Amino acid sequence: MTTTASRPMKQRRPETTRMFESDFLERFSRIHPSTPFVAWLPVAAFVLVRSFGRHDLGAGGIAGLFLLGILAWTLAEYLLHRYIFHWIGTTPLAARIHFLVHGVHHDYPSDKDRLVMPLGFSIPLAVVFYSFFYATMGMRIGEPFFAGFVIGYLAYDGTHYAVHHFRQTTRIGKWIRRHHMLHHHADHDGGFGVSTPLWDIVFRTMPRAKRHADV
């Protein structure tokens, strides 16, 4: 008869791993979940205040562009997640890049230090998007649009951390968490929206429960 004490203990998977041999790079691969809010809320506020201060758009116009910026982020979030984060090449270098960009999160989804975007990634991304909006829309339209885009990004980071580390008690919270957990545990080819499933619905990539998901 096999007793409980004689059964081999199932090893618990570690919640984190090193990404770099260099201690310096390893340190900057980790980020406290509050850091994006501390860094980017002042940027969004500054851009909004400057938009109001120019007096070249009314409050309604600024508010509308701000909301459009939030919506634009949800689309950018979907496209980045689907086509950049989940791009896997055929070479060892491509596999390494995929691991650094997103693969580490799928391998260690409970790593609390890697659930929001590091500033080393979000700052260049913000520069690219701001420059694009400025060049295509001009400052008058582009800046309030960019402010909404930043707030949309912060909603994404906050939602991502919350669904992994906080118990969801509301119906919508449980729905969003289930949507993301299905992406992690059942269908990597669906569920690319994190802050909202909107674009998964539009592009028909809602995740399917191919197997039981840990939700």
C-alpha distances in angstroms, 169 versus 1, 51, 100, 176, 191?
Answer: 43, 38, 32, 11, 21
pLDDT band (50, 70, 90) for residue 12: low
Nearest in space to 190 (alpha carbons), one of 167, 166, 213, 161 = 213
In a domain, 103, yes or no: yes
pLDDT in tens, 148-179: 999 999 999 999 999 988 888 999 989 999 98
Domain of residue 126: give its range.
33-168
Residue 182 to residue 185: CA distance in whole angstroms: 5
Enumerate the H helices of the chain as residue ranges. 23-28, 35-54, 59-79, 92-98, 104-107, 119-165, 171-185, 198-202
- Ramachandran region, residue 5 (left: φ > 0; alpha: ψ -120 to 50; beta: rest): alpha
In a domain, 106, yes or no: yes
pLDDT in tens, 17-49: 887 888 888 887 888 999 999 999 999 999 999
pLDDT band (50, 70, 90) for residue 14: low
In a domain, 113, yes or no: yes
In a domain, 83, yes or no: yes
In a domain, 16, yes or no: no
pLDDT in tens, 81-139: 999 888 887 888 887 877 777 777 887 777 888 778 889 889 999 999 999 999 999 99
Residue 123 to residue 40: CA distance in whole angstroms: 9
In a domain, 71, yes or no: yes
In a domain, 27, yes or no: no
In a domain, 86, yes or no: yes
Say how many domains are in the chain: 1
pTM of the predicted model as reported, rounded to 2 decimal places: 0.86
